[in-house]
Structure 1
């Protein structure tokens, strides 16, 4: 049994980073990933974006974590809004020589941040009731979507890190899945595509033991998943910078 590491990886030499507008810290992340045929995702991704693949397969990720330290540049953190659980469903895409993340859904327990992210970053956020409980050796995470016009979406599980932390090598699947520094998004109304860059230091990953009690995060997307993921990794967390969105097409 390995006790959870308490160190967040801070950004080194922050004065060299210009133009960011938001700071966030991502904590106690669980990277769950399933390999899926690209055709399963094609109808869910804008045609202008190429589905990124690793050895011929697309990958779908479900990532529960704790968001903390949220603040706008040159402004203090807003009390009671800067720390909250979140879970996202994502896949990987390419466009204009950039490779990054495309979010299929993001659930969060903070209604203010959810509303801001929807407007500023055109991201498909949903409000949810969540429970994040840190134990000495594990994390318990429960989420239930609470949107009037959305069918129930649930996630419930326990996870813990095992083995030593490591930095992923560039040619590995771990690096391909986690070292992503661009998010892509689409405006619901105009259908225009945008991207935003992010920055953080490389992840320190650990293998994870996972017990999934319930997982319907992809049910409304009609993406069937096996009960257990193909890969599961834990990361204690990183400090990150986020830049404004920019028009892609």
Structure 2
């Protein structure tokens, strides 16, 4: 498990309002800070600065989770006003995007944290929401286009992916959606590699859809992986996608 490091905002700060809160929602954000070093520790220091006007409860990166506020107090993170439900009744979680971090691991750690918080505070999965719900802001910007997959990952996150998954063999050549569907060992290798990084071909289906058939759901898993990793999201497995998968599976 990943230890949660409590590093609270001083009570004297304006961004620690201190209103009593009973959490009813969990709100997910991306930091939108891609600078090297913009990890959870840096954000912990940032929210403690007396001049900072915003606040949230947790920041998660690929190795650490920092807690900035008690869960009995609200933060200013949802953008829906001083009396808004997002600000006054939701736990705010920021997921780091620092260029020198592993975003997929940070996401997996956040999914683990959310699952724990859901259990501890009796919050249902339908009340795990994006920042966009409260203010309309396109946040969490790297997860909105695959929000369902992100929430599916919460359901399966018994432990966080702090450690890199083991190496999987990756097929050569190009694999894409065709009629009839392509089948065989190469497709199976690709599906297993995607699943190792939580991009399941068909979450909840038998063996999570790992069946050696490159159908629409496997193509969609490739698209989701590409989208999350700065590649053209065309659902076609080729050299660039292979290289990115290989880097993530080290």
Query: In proportion to residue count, which structure has more helix?
Result: 2
**Structure number with higher strand proportion:** 1
Q: Who wins on radius of gyration, i.e. which is larger?
A: 2
Normalised by the length of structure 2, the TM-score is 0.26
**Structure possessing the higher relative contact order (Cα contacts under 8 Å, 6 or more residues apart):** 1
